[in-house]
Structure 1
Amino acid sequence: MDIVVIGAGYAGTVAANRLNRKVPDARITVVNPRGDFIERVRLHEQLAGSGKAARPLGEMLRDGISIETASVDKIGDGAVTLDDGRGLEFDYAILAAGSIADPLPGAIAVSTWEGAEQARTELEALPAGGIVTVIGGGSTGIEIAAELAEAHPDLRVRLVSDAIAPTLSAGAQRHIRHTLARLNVEIAADTIVEIDGRTLRSESGRELDSDLTLWAIISAVPDLAARSGLAVDPRGRALVDENLRSVSDPRVFAVGDCAAVPGMRMACATAAPQGAHAADTLARMIKGRAPRPFSMGYGGQGLSLGRHDGLMQASDRADNAGWLFFGGRVSAVIKEGINRYAAYASRTGNSVWIGGPKQ
């Protein structure tokens, strides 16, 4: 039994390690463009120089799992074609290619390892008083702005977005704004439509100076599923059935950001359970047992606001934010614990989650 896992983020590593434990005689190969596992939830720390986001992939995968450091050009009929022309045959494949950013020209996409490293290098070259602009008011942009402002108080940090944490409660939004103000982060309520060197032009017509512009919006997925002929939604995510199997090729599972699962948001909190469920489903099928539908609910969201502050927002299982939230140092400690658990789940395959909302 040959199983190929495409991508070694949270979803892919959880799936591979769980399958290795549940189907020990399967030949599992993980294909990833780099030889490291990237803790995406720590990329803001890597960028700011306050932490590390990379671990050797060999330390994250169980013994017996093969690693191919390559990119996948196409998923074909029972085989994947790598960027060097080689092919890997499979009985089953798990597509866990994650998501990508589509920045305006002139901005650095910091949701990837390469972008975070480029930004870190350019950040080190900025003089005191240099202006760093972070575009995007979601959790990625907020965490980057707070981390940068705390780690580099000699720089001017600006966050540009037409909304700040729009999916969180009003109280949580106020806490975020208060914390960013305490860290001297300027907030510009606007939308950048063009970058011309050091000049940012906004939708409202104003111009902003920026020495380093960081794109913190994740809005796209790799086109691997589409160019492989798998059925996709308008955003390019692979369409899957209730068991997370491709609706056009039942030998292929799709999990994480690149899978079109109704009601799910892009997050490691989503990716790990989906990777685990795909592994469980495949293990059941191999043993001749019927698969079970995927069901997952949320309990809230967590944000880092520098090393000494954070925010925990409670939500219902459908991911609707409630009024309850916690901020401050305790929330920062809890968020750090969540980050460590995400890495533990990836390394061991021991992911747990709550059931989805009642229909």
Structure 2
Amino acid sequence: MSLSQDFIKGRGAQQNVHNKFDAHSHEFRDDFLNYCAAEGDEVRDSRTSLIDTFPKTIVNKVNSPDVGLNYSLNPYQGCEHGCIYCYARNSHEYWGYSAGLDFEQKILVKQNAVELLEKKLSSKSWQASPIVLSGNTDCYQPIEKKLQITRRLLQTFLKYRHPVGIITKNALVQRDLDLLKELAKDDLVHVNISVTSLAEETRRVLEPRTASIKKRLQTVERLSAEGIPVNVMMAPIIPSINSHEIMPLVKEISERGALSVGYTIVRLNGAIGGIFTDWIKKAMPDRADKVLHQIENIHGGSLNDSRFGTRMKGEGEFATQVAQQFKIAKNKYLKDRKKFSLNCDLHEEFKDGQLKLF
């Protein structure tokens, strides 16, 4: 893997692309760049900034039939992990920012998330249904270590005995093992760990500010050993980058105690097509054209397919081969693992935050 000289290390996106909702566009002019070079100034501010927000609601209804969840909760918008392929990048445009570097550098913090969740769970009209942290951006991204919003959300789920799912690629989830164990006693929690590759070099350039592969596998092993149900997501599979790792990855996570595994195939929707194209030509110039053409072959000649039912798995020979490999891998390594479902039966008794006596 040979990075170009102008590659921005430590970030996924290599530029800020135009926001489709913005009437104005921005570009770096040569005279500005020359001035910065002469003065020894940075062209871009590389620091991460936090922006406090106070939304009116926090639990989102998910209408997509192929995502596999009904409700999601995102304590943060934007994600410092910087995964170049992330479908959530487009959502940053609704806040007035770019789906490129802004998505990784301008993190919106929902300061009233816990209060809104408590209001939701105590509502007389709310019927228990699994709520997933997070359906959009990672609830255990780096700033969570300091702010602990996700931890307080888990305390609220435990208080109301309400089922919760977690999606993350950060080993920080181990910090909350005490809460996860309490929730697991009543089948109230399920953790999805994203492991895109077993190769640390691939992880470092594809997902620059995420936990190392070693730490993620150790997280799968530790949570599983403590009785926390763990599913691993190999998402997304990108041809000629991690598509050769299906069998060894499923074998590895099965040995670590995971109960199941799932996958998606990369799709570059909205602004992500341009962001990914720019990135791969700088990060992997030797194979950029090959990878882009293979992605197009999966989605009928385009980098994206928005059709429900096919957008996550793709079509054609490559998609068929991936599906067959996963079927073989699961039958070989995960065939006898128990099925798991979240418990929705306890919440009604704890709707006021404590067990009803009568």
Shared fold, TM over 0.5:
no
Q: Which of the two has greater strand per residue?
A: 1
TM-score normalised according to structure 2 size: 0.30
TM-score by length of 1: 0.30
